[in-house]
Amino acid sequence: MPSTVVASQTPTGDPGGTAVMEKAPERVRKPSPRYKVLLHNDPVNTMEYVVTTLRQVVPLLSEQDAIAVMLEAHNTGVGLVIVCDLEPAEFYSETLKSKGLSSSIEPES
């Protein structure tokens, strides 16, 4: 949205009579809260299945990223899949669950 410039009706402190241009205050948008999509350790499915499923559900993940998430979940109990807005986070988590993987979301901070 372009900022609006408004000319003051009365010159402010300028004896020469020139108008002072004042900038209208700009609106500041708050960024929407972000959510972490978490993958929990899975003792049932193969590592290959987990990596393949992560890549199908979250197309932004490269093969290396999907492997790293799977290994993080395998080694520590939980892996960070992606951080995004609430709606896609819910979609990713629910889709992972529908494919037999354990997933949850939580606020980023």
C-alpha–C-alpha distance, residues 63 and 31, integer Å: 30
In a domain, 6, yes or no: no
Reply yes or no on whether the pLDDT at 66 is more than 60: yes
For residue 54, give the CATH number of its domain: 3.30.1390.10
Q: For 26-53, what is each residue's pLDDT tens digit?
A: 777 888 899 999 999 988 999 999 999 9
Which pTM value belongs to this model? Answer: 0.72
Q: For 80-99, what is each residue's pLDDT tens digit?
A: 999 999 999 999 999 999 99
In a domain, 18, yes or no: no
Could you tell me the residue range of the domain that residue 48 belongs to? 34-107
C-alpha–C-alpha distance, residues 109 and 107, integer Å: 6
Q: Is 8 in a helix, a strand, or coil? A: coil
Here the tokens at position 103 are 């997933």
